[in-house]
Structure 1
Amino acid sequence: MTTDPSPAASQKLRADAARNRETVLAAATRAFATSSTEPSMRAIARQAGVGVATVYRHFPTREALVDAVYQDQVVRLTSGARELLAGHPPAQALRLWMDLFGDWLATKHGMTDTLLAMIDSGEISLAHTRQELLSAITTILDAGATAGDIRADARAEDVSAGVLAMLAVAARSGDPAQAQRLLDLLMDGLRPR
C-alpha cells in the first residue's frame, strides 16, 4: 500500500483527525453530563463512534480528556455571553446565559472525581475560570445597566453566587422545572425598580 505524500492528502488527514477530535470531545461532554459516574474511555469511544485508540491518540489520559472538555466548556460559556448579547437585549441575554451556565455545570457530573483531583493538583485553575466567568457576566451586566433593563448596582459575583445556589437547590429537589423558576425569580430581582 502506498501513501499519498501530497499536501492535499496531508490536509485531508489533518481534517479527519480534527473532526475525530471534535467528535470525541462532543461525545465525552455528553457522556460526562449524563453519567452519574465517570464513564470509561471505551464507553466514550463507543458513543463517539470511534475506536478507543482514536480517543487515546487525541487524549492520552483521562485527565487530558477532562481538561479538554472543561476548557472547551469554559470557552463556550464565555463566548456564549458575547453571542447572546449580540442577538438579544441584555436582560434576555443574561437569562439565556444562566441556562448555559446550568448546562456547563451539568457536564461536570461524570467527571467530578478527576476534575477535583486536577484542581487539587493545580492542573486546573479555578481562579482563572472564575475570573473568565465573572468577566462574561460583567459584560452583560454593563450592557444591561446602559440599556436600562438590568439594575446598575448588580454585581457579577452576586449573580454568579445566586445562579450557583439556585441550581444547587434545584438539583437536590429532583424537580428540573424548579431551576427555571428560581432563575426567573433571580432575573426579576435584577430588573430596575
Structure 2
Amino acid sequence: MSDTRAPRAMRADAQRNRARLLAAASAAFARAGVDASLDDIARDADVGSGTLYRHFPTREALVEAVLDNRYQALAAEAAELQAKRPPHEALAVWLKLFVNHLMTYRGLAASVTTALHNETPPSDSPCQAMRAAAYELVATAQRDGAVRDDIDASTILRLAAGVAWAHEQSPADRAGVGQMLAVLMDGLLRDSRVPRAVS
C-alpha cells in the first residue's frame, strides 16, 4: 500500500539554511552566471557542500529554485495574455517575456535549453508550469490557424532560448533581440498577412 502521509515540515534550521543558500546562489548567479561554483555558494551561505546537495541535488534544481517566482510569473502572464490578446499576439508578447527572463543571468539560456530537452520534468516544478502555459499558448495559436502546426512548442521555446544565447555573445546589441524575435515570429506565422506584434 502506498504511503499517503503528508511530507514532514522542514525544520526551522533547515529552512534557514535553504533561505541562505538561495540568497547566496542568487548573488552568485548575478555575479558569475549560472555556472558559478557551488562550493563557493555553500561557503557564502555558511553551510557545508553536503547541506547544499541535500537541499538541491543538482545545479539545475538550485537554478530552478532561485527562479521559482519568475517561472510562476511567466505562467500567470501566459494565461493573462491568452485572455486579452489574439492568439498570435499573445504568443509573440510572451516569447519576448521569456527571452527577457533568459537574459537574467549569464548561462541561463543554455541551462534552460538543457532542461527543455527533459520531456518528463516533475509535475510540480515551477518550470513545468511555465512550460505547460507556453505549450497552451502555442496550441491555441495553432488551432486559430495563425501559427504553423508543423512545429512543436518545445522547438519554439528552444529557438527563443537561442535568441537569448545569441544576445549573451553580443550583450551590447540589445536591439538585435527584437530583430531576432521578429524573424522567429515571421517563421512561425502561417499567413504573411497576419499582423506582427512583439511588444
TM class by shorter chain equals: 0.5 to 0.7
Note the residue ranges of structure 1 that are not aligned, 5 or more in a row.
1-10, 113-118
The Cα shift of 1:182 comes to: 1.7
Quick check: 1:73–1:104 contact (8 Å CA) kept in 2? no
What is the one-letter code of the residue matched to 1:159?
I
Quote the offset at 1:151 in angstroms: 1.7
* Comparing 56-65 and 95-104, the one that deviates more: 56-65
* Separation of aligned partners in 2, 1:98 and 1:79: 15
1:57 is displaced (CA, Å) by 6.0
Q: Does 1:82 align with 2:75?
A: yes
TM-score calculated relative to the size of structure 1? 0.57
The answer on whether the counterparts of 1:25 and 1:65 sit within 8 Å (CA) in structure 2 is no
Q: Using the alignment, how far apart are the partners of 2:146 and 2:72 within structure 1?
A: 20
Comparing 92-101 with 66-75, greater Cα deviation is found at: 66-75
1:28 counterpart letter in structure 2: A
Identity, % of aligned positions? 18
Q: CA deviation at 1:134?
A: 5.9
Q: Map 1:1-193 onto structure 2 (within 5 A).
A: 14-15=11-12, 17-35=14-32, 38-39=36-37, 41-42=39-40, 45-46=43-44, 50-51=45-46, 53=47, 56=49, 58-60=51-53, 64=57, 66-72=59-65, 79-88=72-81, 89=85, 90-91=90-91, 92-103=93-104, 106-107=107-108, 126-128=117-119, 132=128, 135-145=132-142, 148=144, 151-153=147-149, 155-177=152-174, 178-191=176-189, 193=194
For 1:141, the aligned partner's letter is V
Equivalents in 2 of 1:81, 1:134: separation in Å? Answer: 9
CA shift in 2, pair 1:38/1:102, >3 Å: closer
Structure 1 residue aligned with 2:5: none
C-alpha spacing 1:125/1:85, structure 2 compared with 1 (3 Å): closer
Provide the alpha-carbon RMSD of the alignment.
Answer: 4.4
In our comparison, the structure showing a higher alpha carbon Rg is: 1
What is the CA distance between 1:159 and its match in structure 2? 1.1
Q: Secondary structure at the match of 1:175?
A: coil
CA distance in 2, matches of 1:190, 1:125: 19
Aligned length: 164
- CA displacement, residues 101-154 of structure 1 (integer Å, 9 cap, x when unaligned): 444773478xx8xxxxxx9xxxx99534689576443222123345x5952535
User: Which one has the bigger helix percentage?
Assistant: 1
Consecutive unaligned residues of structure 2, counting only runs of 5 or more, are 1-8, 123-127, 195-199
Sort the Cα spacing of 1:187 and 1:33 in 2 relative to 1 into closer, same or farther, 3 A: farther
CA apart distance, 1:21: 0.6
Q: Aligned partner of 2:184: which letter?
A: L
TM-score by length of 2: 0.55
